[in-house]
Amino acid sequence: MCGILAVLGVGDVSLAKRSRIIELSRRLRHRGPDWSGIHSFEDCYLAHQRLAIVDPTSGDQPLYNEDKTVVVTVNGEIYNHEELKAKLKHHKFQTGSDCEVIAHLYEEYGEEFVDMLDGMFSFVLLDTRDKSFIAARDAIGICPLYMGWGLDGSVWFSSEMKALSDDCERFISFPPGHLYSSKTGGLRRWYNPPWFSESIPSAPYDPLLIRESFEKAVIKRLMTDVPFGVLLSGGLDSSLVASVVSRHLAETKVARQWGNKLHTFCIGLKGSPDLKAAKEVADYLGTVHHELHFTVQEGIDALEEVIYHIETYDVTTIRASTPMFLMSRKIKSLGVKMVLSGEGSDEIFGGYLYFHKAPNKKELHEETCRKIKALHLYDCLRANKATSAWGLEARVPFLDKNFINVAMDLDPECKMIRRDLGRIEKWVLRNAFDDEKKPYLPKHILYRQKEQFSDGVGYSWIDGLKDHANAHVSDSMMTNASFVYPENTPTTKEAYYYRTVFEKFYPKNAARLTVPGGPSVACSTAKAVEWDAAWSKLLDPSGRAALGVHDAAYEEEKAPASVDPVLENAFHPPAHGESTLVKSAVPAAAV
């Protein structure tokens, strides 16, 4: 990941202003420690902090067209850049960077080229011929982008809030799948897939299509000129990513550069569920596995730094970001600059445990649509910023545009959790990779119960966070919470504690409005809380709050007797005529 900062139409073009923009750009250097660049044209500035993944020797930014009249600063990866270059044969490319294609596509197609890009990106492009500019963000919001406005009439764009929050009167999280054009002065959505309308699809389930689409999504993300690895928690999603990479690594360019032995990484408290499951998967796949440990106290000590980097006070995001933040530092110290991760699968396939209570396929599908649309505020934000804090890039194959289209075109009936048919959460994905002749994963890993990352690293992690917050937030502070924090009022001491830390770094009202709110159970949207009356009594983002579903559900809040006995315990489908029920000693991970 790189860091971009663009300031356009400033009222002051002095050297002091240029120095200020360079100073603000340095706040993003953790994202791109390899090189810094800035281009200024009259009252416009485009700055860049580079993390060199593709073409490390010549791909420094900003990037240009042939005569340097078009300037672009980009954070991201364009996986189909070679295919796009083939359509631009009369253009002369100056570097081997995958992102340079953006400048030439603009020359060729104008503002309407963005949908041609297959990748993750946020960019700002300046056309010096008429001083117009555009900014765009990828379909799902994998790469972060913020937009702000200065009192002098300037427009700002930045990869992270910290580079513009002090100098902008107002700023927002730039919406995913959108483009801003200075010519029209507004935002418009360039990403318009069929599922976005939330109408119910009807395509029949084709397990081979699911498998092939996902394998293509993984393989295209092996585009790198630097060492890489896979974040492996031992849950279904990250294990499938690791399995597919293992199968295809030998045939890739990166294997010729860095060898065909895959490195995998996992973090957890000693004895945690993820560590055990990840080691088993790594042994099965034959990877070079790195098992990393942290203590509850080490995690607590890192909280302020984590909140500064991820720029949110959302409870579940902070819980999961902290171990990811600690793991990323150790991964970078080993010389690895890029990792593949498993975010997005639960949103696409209804993998969170609360989906056990989806009343029908219509509500399930609508909830998956809502979850995907909000990913940029939660898991995408976490995966990007927790890794970028240490100059590490995370790629997420489940959020491939084509794969999402294939998966979201399925009749959602096949995503419904049906014990009578032997279907647990994400059955359509599990079944697609259930290959008896050449297994991708051991059967009990393939059908391991869903576990959120913040749970899987060790249940005492969340319990320790709650104890820490209880020691720092008094009952009287909670009584007055609605007066101190009228927007998104914290309802627990843990949420209150995180809010106080966030406000220390980002005190403006615009900052707090970039964070979503509302009730949630086991990572649900507020709408899905209505699926079970019992959940309203235990609003917690942990998967253990899914009463009557999770194997290790909170002991003090047992599901009432009226809970459907079908959902009283988590289950796994039979394999070879026998039950494969896996107890909480080996729960599933989020990624």
Smallest Cα–Cα separation from 174: which of 204, 153, 219, 143?
Answer: 143
Identify residue 121 by its one-letter amino acid code.
Answer: F
Q: Collapse the DSSP code of 281 into the 3-class scheme (helix H, G, I; strand E, B; otherwise coil) and give the result.
A: helix
Catalytic residue list contains 2:
yes
3-state helix, strand, coil in the chain (%, to 5): 40, 15, 40
Query: Is 567 labeled as ligand-binding?
Result: no
What token pair was written down for 425? 């959460």
Q: What is the DSSP-derived secondary structure letter of residue 560?
A: P
Radius of gyration of the chain (CA): 23
- 340 - beta bridge partners? 230, 395
* Helix (H) and strand (E) counts in the chain: 22, 17
Handedness of CA 371, 377, 382, 388 (dihedral sign): positive
Residues in Cβ contact with 283 at an 8 Å cutoff, skipping those fewer than 6 apart: 289
Residue 343 to residue 398: CA distance in whole angstroms: 7
Q: Which of 2, 44, 266, 369 is catalytic?
A: 2
Identify residue 331 by its one-letter amino acid code.
Answer: I
Smallest Cα–Cα separation from 447: which of 462, 432, 461, 463?
Answer: 432
Handedness of CA 433, 434, 439, 443 (dihedral sign): positive
Placement of tokens 């319990």 in the chain? 463
Query: Is 341 labeled as ligand-binding?
Result: yes
Query: Is 231 labeled as ligand-binding?
Result: yes
Residue 134 to residue 129: CA distance in whole angstroms: 14
Residue 365 to residue 322: CA distance in whole angstroms: 31
Q: Collapse the DSSP code of 314 into the 3-class scheme (helix H, G, I; strand E, B; otherwise coil) and give the result.
A: coil
Alpha helices (runs of H) in 197-272, residue ranges in sequence order: 207-220, 236-248, 253-258
In Å, how far from its chain's centre is CA 3?
A: 16
DSSP H/E element including 538: none
Smallest Cα–Cα separation from 379: which of 541, 265, 180, 189?
Answer: 541
Identify residue 245 by its one-letter amino acid code.
Answer: V
Phi and psi at 5, nearest 5°, equal -140, 125
Placement of tokens 């647990």 in the chain? 424
Query: Is 98 labeled as ligand-binding?
Result: yes
Residue 193 to residue 556: CA distance in whole angstroms: 44
Residue 284 to residue 280: CA distance in whole angstroms: 6
Residue 280 to residue 388: CA distance in whole angstroms: 28
Placement of tokens 């917050």 in the chain? 469
Long-range contacts of 17-24, Cβ-Cβ distance < 8 Å, separation of 24 or more: 18/45, 20/167, 21/45, 21/47, 22/47, 24/158, 24/163, 24/164, 24/166, 24/167
Identify residue 83 by its one-letter amino acid code.
Answer: E
What token pair was written down for 101? 């294609």
Residues in Cβ contact with 197 at an 8 Å cutoff, skipping those fewer than 6 apart: none
- Residues known to be catalytic: 2
Specify binding-site residues for ATP.
231, 267, 341-342
Residues annotated as binding site for L-glutamine?
Answer: 98
Which residues are annotated binding-site positions? 98, 231, 267, 341-342
